[in-house]
Amino acid sequence: MTLSRAPAPTDAALLAGFAEAALAAGVAIRRIEAEGISHSRKADASPVTEADHAAEAIICAALAHLLPGVPVVAEEAMAAGASVTCGNRFLLVDPLDGTREFISGNGEYTVNIALVEDGTPVLGVVYAPARALLFAGRPGAAFRAIRAPGAAVDAQDWTPIACRTVPNGPIVVAASRSHGDPATDALIERYEVAERIPAGSALKFGLLAEGKVDLYPRLGTVMEWDSAAGHALVVAAGGRVTRPDGSPLTYGHAEAGFKVRGFVAWGAGHRSFHAAAS
């Protein structure tokens, strides 16, 4: 007797599963936020809280059930010295992106979950628990939904979103609230900017994906788990995310410590930015 193998989950089912994991993590994060936040410092001097660890445990348990055997590269595990062989298909998890925003109490932090295939993020969820705001993207479709932490996932009523076409005139730019750097500022200053919107964490990718900004550059070094989910979201919404020189931004570079040496994210039909980034 031959046992039949269960069919692989569809992209839509996986995205809903990612959203469910992020919403569950949001419950733990908000509970700790309400009880009072204390933090320590990791080896790289960045802050870490109990919420980072609690959220990561919830997400990784959910992903092990959803995609058994698929490697998970998660921020706090990596900070603790974990070693992961990525292969052609793996997951990137930032359980609490924007820990500084979380500690400050401004609500601009997110939970980021991404599936990477052959070096490219293909599915991504960015969830802001304090704002009950969920962004989700899969190939050819991006969505926005209002979901409180722990709420049921019903993708049927997610609202489709799309990047807007970048205008020929002044553009709207999203920039980091807590991690500005001179190179990024210099790039932005080379454009005619109608408005510059500061925001924390991966929320800036959400602003781009729903058509509220045209450009989100970050030339400072970040980690793959910081950008992968937002990268997938923006591409799903019709935009583009590349290295600053316009070459493809790929993931799974364990030999480089999973560092991303800057990126530029544009809306739809974007103008060339290579000269500005050089």
157 is in an annotated binding site: no
Tell me whether residue 98 is annotated as binding: yes
Burial of 23 (0-12, 13-18, 19+ CB in 10 A): buried
Flag whether 107 is marked binding.
no
Instruction: Tell whether 99 is in a known binding site.
Output: yes
Written in H, E and C, the secondary structure of the chain is CCCCCCCCCCHHHHHHHHHHHHHHHHHHHHHHHHHCCCEEECCCCCEEEHHHHHHHHHHHHHHHHHCCCCCEEEHHHHHCCCCCCCCCEEEEEEEEECHHHHHHCCCCCEEEEEEEECCEEEEEEEEEHHHCEEEEEECCEEEEEECCCCCCCCHHHCEEECCCECCCCCEEEEEECCCCCHHHHHHHHCCCEEEEEEECCCHHHHHHHCCCCCEEEECCCEEHHHHHHHHHHHHHCCCEEECCCCCECCCCCHHHCCEECCEEEECECCCCCHHHHC
Q: Is 219 annotated as a binding residue?
A: no
Residue 118 labelled as part of a binding site: no
97 is in an annotated binding site: yes
- Annotated binding-site positions for substrate: 75, 96-99, 226
- Annotated binding-site positions for Mg(2+): 75, 94, 96-97, 226
- Annotated binding-site positions: 75, 94, 96-99, 226
